[in-house]
Amino acid sequence: MTPQVLELDAAPPAVDPAAPLLARLRRLAHAALPRMYDRRAGRCVFTVRLENGTQAPAGISDRYTAIAIIGVAADGLDQWSLPFDPRQMAGTLVDTLPACRNLGDAALIAWAASAIGADTRGAWPHVERLLDAQAAHPTVELAWALAASVIDGGTAAPALRQKLSASLMRAWNGSAGIFAHVAGGTGARSHVACYADQVYPIFALSRYAGKHHDGAALDAAVRCARRICALQGTDGQWWWHYDHRTGGVIEGYPVYAIHQDAMGPMALRAVEEASGEAFGDHITRGLRWLEASPELNGGTLIDDAAQMLWRKVARREPMKATRYLQAACTMLHPRLRAPGVDVLFPPAIIDYEDRPYHWGWFLYAWARVQDRRS
């Protein structure tokens, strides 16, 4: 049965699963995100890592800068005291677009510019050129581009949105309820898809369905949401790698903080709004894992003293060994798994790293008033 497409201006669901935790995380966002800005580069850094007891910033990222702007704009610019001007920073990113060769980055820059009211008319022809430049694109990038084109609906052409939606749907396997890692991709590991490959399409297709009353798009979004929720860990973990052929979990770890408090809620709240189907219990379970993780014996990635939310809980393993091992096993047969990995490589390691995009998507996911200019 195809889910009903609801109007975008329908009242959002009253989902407030963990108000005290969300308030705590919002305080962390206001403390952490301003420290992730590099004044010399005029951009957000790529990461901040804890090294020898010191938080060390590294790299520069236009992508993460754009996502940070999207989040801050959604949260309300008047709510922030920042060491940078988001409007000026977005304008600078737009100026770099002619040199951008990445579809996802270009679309996020257009989205960020739209979020602060900048002129994006020159952005979308460039996004379309990047889309047309190659046959296969990462699913995540297509989803970002589709979502951005819907949200900037007054500027992005309807024909481009339809082209992006069609490209994204090439990654959909309806029988498995899972999106592939690359739309149109092939290769030995093409059956391995990650959590991001699911939640960004859920979000984008939900927004697209609300704009265009597209039942097929919403059906894919709802069915994928149901699938990842059915596979959610007993303690609320959002697992990492899925089999695009069967819809099963290939490897659960790492479990990322951003999936629990930002990307998961962002996607599930969007599909709730578009379809009317409730996913609030799964959002709540994901947040509860973040607050008290059994892998950490009830500990948490939330570090109030450091004013950081650390990136993930990972296995004690060399060189992502388990992920490669399970990918190889499932390549041989979909039901084949390497035995004993939880004993050999227990999931108990904290990755002491945080990135700006975490806070951008957290702020966007829980914004009091979402962007409805589309």
The full length of the chain comes to 374
- CA–CA–CA angle 97, 208, 278 (5° rounding): 125
- Listed residue (281, 271, 194) closest to 239, CA to CA: 194
Q: Which residues, other chains included, contact 132 with Cβ-Cβ below 8 Å and sequence gap of 6+?
A: none
Alpha-carbon torsion 117, 119, 125, 126, what sign? negative
Give the model's pLDDT for residue 54: 94
Find out whether the peptide bond into 254 is cis, omega within 30 degrees of 0.
Answer: yes
Copy the structure tokens of residue 148.
Answer: 């951005």
CB 203 within 8 A of CB 177: no
pLDDT at 341: 79
- Beta partners for 354? 48
- What pLDDT, on the 0 to 100 scale, is given for residue 78? 83
Sorted by sequence, the CB contacts under 8 Å of residue 361 that are 6+ apart come out as 67, 71, 258, 262, 263, 266
> How high is the pLDDT of residue 14?
52
pLDDT at 352: 97
What distance in Å separates the CA atoms of residue 178 and residue 184, rounded to the nearest whole number? 14
pTM over 0.85: yes
Q: How far apart are CA 137 and CA 224, in angstroms?
A: 20
- Alpha-carbon gap, residue 297 to 73, rounded angstroms: 37
Q: Are 301 and 281 in contact (CB under 8 A)?
A: no
User: Could you tell me if 64 and 46 are in contact, meaning their C-beta atoms sit under 8 angstroms apart?
Assistant: yes
Residue 347's φ and ψ, nearest 5 degrees, are: -80, 95
> What pLDDT score was predicted for residue 327?
75
> Distances from the Cα of 355 to the Cαs of 48, 50, 67, 275, 309, in angstroms?
6, 12, 11, 32, 9
Q: Residue 253 contacts by C-beta under 8 Å, 6 or more apart in sequence? A: 239, 240, 313, 314, 315, 322, 347
User: What was the pLDDT predicted at 317?
Assistant: 74
pLDDT of the chain along its 374 residues, tens only?
Answer: 556 555 444 445 555 657 899 999 999 999 999 999 999 999 999 999 999 999 999 999 999 999 999 999 999 988 888 888 888 889 889 999 999 999 999 999 999 999 999 889 999 999 999 999 999 999 999 999 999 999 998 899 999 999 999 999 999 999 999 999 999 877 657 888 999 999 999 999 999 999 999 999 999 999 999 999 999 999 999 999 999 999 999 898 999 999 999 999 999 999 999 999 999 999 999 999 999 999 999 999 999 999 999 999 998 877 787 777 787 878 778 877 888 777 788 889 999 999 999 999 999 999 965 554 54
Q: Cα(11)–Cα(3) distance, rounded to whole angstroms?
A: 18
Encoded amino acid at 354, one letter: D
Burial of 329 (0-12, 13-18, 19+ CB in 10 A): middle
Measure the CA angle with vertex 44, ends 42 and 50; round to 5°. 130
Q: What is the pLDDT of residue 10?
A: 45
Q: What is the pLDDT of residue 333?
A: 82
